[in-house]
Each structure stands twice: as structure tokens, then as C-alpha cells.
Amino acid sequence: MSSAELSQIAVNALLLSGLLALVAVGFSLVWGIMNIVNLSHGAFIVMGAYLTYWMHELLHVDPFLSIPVSMAVLFALGYAVQRTVINQIMRAPLLATFLLTFGLEILIVNLLNFFFKADTRSVTTSYSGTGFTLGAVRIPYVRLFALLVSLTLVLLLGAFLNRSRLGRAIRATGMDIDAARLTGVQVGAIYALTFAIGSAFAGAAGSLLAMVIPFDPNLGGGYTERAFVICVLGGLGNVVNVLIGATIYAVVDVFVASRLPQLSQAVTFALLVVLLIVRPQGIAGRSLS
């Protein structure tokens, strides 16, 4: 492999890792705080992609400007889902939330298929195909902006969780729900807020994905899996864990895709299964199993 090829792979991995961190950060938050593996996360991402698509198509809104709208809409939806549905079974065995979010995923994906058909769509803007070259490496503008937006959002979430009063209430609830309740935290509302933030970040990830890849209603499942792998690789607990996990995943994914494109899914899954068995607590985080 030439050094030019290698540096292109490195840059591609870097560009991908930011997006993947945004894909996984909401999933990681919901898992870490409430012990819910949200199988409908990918469906929320796809909803974000459609919101950006339709805003661009019908109202000619620049896709980057539609991100706050996607986040707001999915925040509201996520809040309602947790408050009215998932909170009803929070003390049931683990399998219950797993199956519930799975049912939600089937439902959302089917409704998207029903209303928007299974057609592949993409958001194309005036600057879509453009980019610049740095030495031998080509960098598309959209992917660079997507990286910057992703990192900004992820770090903002980290700051919110660590510095703000509400963020501390969320983390306290995740650590010990009874102790949090004793200090006056409204845990029902905090759970709903946590799921809402997770959904909002899924929406943002969907908006960005709509700009960089073609999508259809069935895209979500793959992103739920990726988010899971990233959380296992990086561990749970902090946005830094997500960034580590996403970087490892992106490097492996870009490298395998350039060498053995037909096996990229199998290699990633094999890596995951081996890692789960050898180190169930993840590479860098605390265990939550």
C-alpha cells in the first residue's frame, strides 16, 4: 500500500469517526443511564434523515440548517415515547425493553416504507460534489463540515452532562436512581429527558447522514448495530468513550472496506464477538452488564 493510499484511508477514517460518534452518542447515553438497548435508535436516525430531505426538497432549507429542526422534532417524539410507553415497564426484566424497542423499530420502519416508499433518496446541494485536495488526499466539504458539526454536538453534550445542573441530575439518576430520587430528582421526567436527548442526537446524525450517503427506510438497523459495536468497543459512561469507540470502529471499517470489501460486515461482527468474550466491559470503559 502506498503512503498516499494510506493517508487517504486515515483521512476517510477520521471523517467517518465523527459521524459515527454522533450516531452512537445518543444510543450510549440511553444505554448508560437507563440500561436500555434502544433497538429503535436506527429508526430515529432515519426519521432525522427524512426530515432533512423533505425540508430541503419542499422548502429548500439548507441541510445543515435543518439539523436543529430534526433535533427538536425527535426530542419531542423521544420524550413522549419514554414518558408514555417505556416508563411503564422500566422495572420489568431486561428482555422487556429490548422487545419493546424492537417492536417500535418494526413499526417506525414500516410506517416510513408506507409513506415514503422504499426508494433510495439523497440530499444534493450546490456544494455536494465539491472539495479540496491536501497533498494526495481528497477531502469533500460536506464530509468535513459533517465532522465538525458532529464533534461540536458530541462535545456540547459532554459539557451539558458534566457541567449543568440538569446534566448532573441525569448522571446521578443513572448511577443510583433511589439516591437521586431522595435528593429531589424527578426520575420519570429525567428518564424522558434522557431518551429525548438520545433521540435528538439520532435526528442530528440522520440529518448529516442524509447529506453524505443515499438512504432508504431500511437503513436504520445497520446503524443500531454500529452504535452497539461502538459502545462495546469504547465502553459506556462518557462521551469520550463514544469518541474512542467510534474512532476504532471507523479505522477498522475503512481499512477492511479497502482491503476486503465483501467481508466488511463479517469482520466487524467477528471483532465484536471476540471482544465481547475476551473483554465484556469494553476496551476503555466501565462494565454495565
Told to check if 116 binds other proteins by CB under 8 A, we report no
| Buried-state track 89-110, b at ≥16 Cβ within 10 A, e below 16 | ebeeeeeebeebbeebbeebbe
Q: 3-class SS at 243? A: helix
Q: Which positions ≥6 away from 74 have C-beta within 8 Å?
A: 44, 47, 48, 51, 199, 200, 202, 203
| Buried-state track 64-81, b at ≥16 Cβ within 10 A, e below 16 | bebbebbbebbbebbbeb
Told to check if 284 binds other proteins by CB under 8 A, we report no
- How many angstroms separate the CA atoms of 164 and 149, rounded? 21
The binder of other proteins chosen from 144, 252, 276, 283 (CB under 8 A): 276
Told to check if 277 binds other proteins by CB under 8 A, we report yes
The binder of other proteins chosen from 127, 159, 280, 286 (CB under 8 A): 280
Q: Which stretch binds other proteins (CB under 8 A): 58-66, 70-78, 161-169, 263-271?
A: 263-271
End-to-end CA distance of the chain: give it in Å, rounded. Answer: 41
Told to check if 132 binds other proteins by CB under 8 A, we report no
- 8-state DSSP, 155: H
Question: What part of residues 193-252 is at the interface with other proteins (CB under 8 A)?
Answer: 225, 228, 232
Told to check if 260 binds other proteins by CB under 8 A, we report no
The binder of other proteins chosen from 4, 68, 103, 130 (CB under 8 A): 103
* Residues in contact with other proteins by the rule CB under 8 A: 31, 37, 85, 87-96, 98-100, 102-107, 109-111, 113-114, 187-188, 191, 225, 228, 232, 263, 265-266, 269-270, 272-273, 276-277, 280, 289
